[in-house]
Structure 1
């Protein structure tokens, strides 16, 4: 795909569309089950900017800020919001089904947790992103599909 994405004869809009169709799905494979830390988010944003810089043939030694690169590409950062939207959609789907996946996601399994700093639970990502307050509020919101979809749409619009 390098020859297509770096070809100056193809418009930037078409190259961006090729990136969205062919490369982003590979990058985001399984993202519904990720827990995104600050470090992971920075790496994903860096990857997105790396793709744009390669498409525009901007060297990493060129002193251009990410904002100017985004302006040249006529786009904004979208990768994290796409991932968050997919995670929230998947979370709603899992919460509406009251099966084993629901128990695993909410962390309501019996037993002891290991020592040390605990990993972020899968339920904490969507509730933080959607600003649902407590996780119980988010779980209750998933029961009503219209309410859940509007919460997701509002969060995507705000770009949080």
Structure 2
């Protein structure tokens, strides 16, 4: 990673030189470059005189990184993966010999684990939340054996199947768990430094884009925490922080948790 095209070229050249010294060769066909920026930036990065392909999306460790820096593409990618798993298990959802509680457990283990892979890093917009909730209800209706034409309320379906937390609440819990994990790290660890860093420069006009820390603040507020500073202090104790995470979200400020 580099802050400029020139800096990236220098890094690529270093990797190329080190590889040649060890008798290794970079696969140019599998090497791609990406510019994450608000404006379109054309990169000209070469290896041995051959220009590397510039892409708008890049898959890294199962997550899809887009040049806009948003999580929308990654969320759509995870929904697509989970939908494929749902379709493979079609016979299980329709089976009359398998009880609904067992189907719910299969859904949590086999589908949710695919859907929420890397979800602790997501910055959810309202449209992203709606996509996740729509997919979740589609799965729950399959388990219950009903369709939208039956006009059964979502809350009734959840109560019937015993599903207490929505998919967005699970994302919030994963996000808070990771937040506490980073805050308990040594101050010199890179994740801790990045989370507490400040980006210098001029902010453009208009409302700033929603960031990950904004989501954490919102997750804390609906659990009765007054500020991010209070959350940082509580996160130092694992047991206390787990109690905060398990607190049922509410827009009321009268939430109570125990240390």
Band of TM-score, shorter chain: 0.7 to 0.9
Q: What is the deviation of 1:31?
A: 0.4
Q: What is the deviation of 1:113?
A: 4.1
Counterpart in the other structure of 1:45: 133
* RMSD after superposition: 2.2
Runs of 5+ unmatched residues, structure 1: none
Secondary structure, in 3 states, of the residue corresponding to 2:149?
Answer: coil
TM-score by length of 1: 0.83
Structure 1 stretches of 4+ moved >4 Å: none
**Who wins on radius of gyration, i.e. which is larger?**
2
Q: How does 1:1-160 map to 2 (within 5 A)?
A: 1-97=89-185, 98=187, 99-131=189-221, 132-153=225-246, 155=247, 158-160=248-250
CA distance in structure 2 between the aligned counterparts of 1:135 and 1:66, rounded to whole angstroms: 33
More strand by share: 2
TM-score by length of 2: 0.54
Moved more, 27-36 or 70-79: 70-79
CA distance in structure 1 between the aligned counterparts of 2:237 and 2:162, rounded to whole angstroms: 37
CA distance in structure 2 between the aligned counterparts of 1:139 and 1:112, rounded to whole angstroms: 28
CA distance in structure 2 between the aligned counterparts of 1:63 and 1:149, rounded to whole angstroms: 37
Please say if residues 141 and 148 of structure 1, whose CA atoms lie closer than 8 Å, have aligned partners that are also in contact. yes
Q: What is the deviation of 1:78?
A: 3.5
Q: What is the deviation of 1:114?
A: 4.8
